[in-house]
Structure 1
């Protein structure tokens, strides 16, 4: 499986809020960091644009949304047009953001960083954030240190660059320069969710095929095999 195959699968399905916890968790998290109309917010790996549109319409903030996958950008353009949401969409690599330094008050990443060179991407988040800016990042996290052969299998299935524990994620963030690093799980925000997590919405793209179902089955088998695979929410200040 090539590095992009799992991400290509998500793009073919046009899945909204594929990250753990889904859009109900996203809304609870955004309510906790309270973006405002004067702020500039970057949504990296924006996917179909669900979070970006919500930010623009609900919080009235200035939103730039970035995704590397052209199919996701097309989904996001259609959503933004339908919702009449004033967001700026860019097809770009989060490891090399075509954006000025100290441009954003907040950076939102939902199951994105783990699919990249983590060290490089965190440096880019830090670079584009204003001093004392806020990073909100939901990422795959292992409950304990996995063996090298286990990490290799998970990397093969998802195309991720590494599988980190909570402690390793915090260390990476702190080494980048982030401060006040806080770690949460979805249960910490369960009471503030206005709705329970649900099955992500799907908007099929042309070219969806049987191979995509095979990838989905492999994903299910991997999650069943590796019970240590979980997710954490990381909040930090630049």
Structure 2
């Protein structure tokens, strides 16, 4: 079985801001953490590069963008060049980042960590962050502990190893070395006049083949069946 079918689907259709809340939530969270101009930021699982370009142009950030999917890298490269954004783009596995220790002020992950070996990836985030650096991680989170059968069904669709509750995410982050983890949901940011999320942009230059349609249908069915599948914004301090 190809356990990366869902990620392949996102890459093939060039879906921008596939994470919950989309770019409007990202913008609001970045304002909330008071991102400073010129900070060095690692955007992991950068996808088509939408957030990376925003960081570089809006905050004048020193941005390194990483993704492991060759098609996403190609799409991100095209966007970065089109926008003339100052972003360093790397194809790499976030579980083994080819980056120095203590190199970044912020690490941003938008629905990325859950698709990896969570323990390894969180340790890598912590390793590359400077002292007092911050991880901003928007991740799939279950509102309750799922049964083994329920978790298996969800894992089969998304090709993930675990479906964590917010307590389990917090524990995993602290075990990776993070000293403090603050947890928010999307409603917490409504008071910041967040833009309403729009539908993610899709590049339909690639046709929706039978496999891609099947993945999308499975995703819709899971979202309809498991209303306890939600997301949280985790802000963890190194």
How far apart are 1:111 and its partner, in Å?
0.1
Q: Secondary structure at the match of 1:182?
A: strand
Q: From the superposition, tell whether residues 205 and 118 of structure 1 become closer, same or farther in structure 2 (CA, over 3 Å).
A: farther
CA distance in 1: counterparts of 2:235 and 2:173, whole angstroms: 10
The one-character-per-residue Cα deviations of 1:77-111 (angstroms, maximum 9, x if unpaired) are 11111111000000100000000010000000000
Partner of 1:170: 170
How far apart are 1:207 and its partner, in Å?
5.9
Partner of 2:78: 78
Structure 1 window deviating more from structure 2 (201-210 vs 124-133): it is 201-210
TM-score (norm 1): 0.97
Partner of 2:125: 125
TM-score (norm 2): 0.97
Q: Secondary structure at the match of 2:11?
A: helix
CA distance in 2: counterparts of 1:51 and 1:190, whole angstroms: 20
Alignment root-mean-square deviation, CA: 1.1
How far apart are 1:179 and its partner, in Å?
1.5
CA distance in 2: counterparts of 1:196 and 1:37, whole angstroms: 25
Partner of 1:180: 180
Residue 53 of structure 1 contacts residue 87 of structure 1 at CA under 8 Å; is this kept in 2? yes
CA distance in 1: counterparts of 2:148 and 2:117, whole angstroms: 18
CA distance in 2: counterparts of 1:21 and 1:28, whole angstroms: 10
The one-character-per-residue Cα deviations of 1:99-151 (angstroms, maximum 9, x if unpaired) are 00100000000000000000000000000000110000000000000001111
Partner of 1:235: 235
Partner of 2:100: 100
* 1:1-238 alignment runs, 5 A limit: 1-204=1-204, 206=206, 208-238=208-238
Paired residues, what number? 238
Q: Secondary structure at the match of 2:7?
A: helix
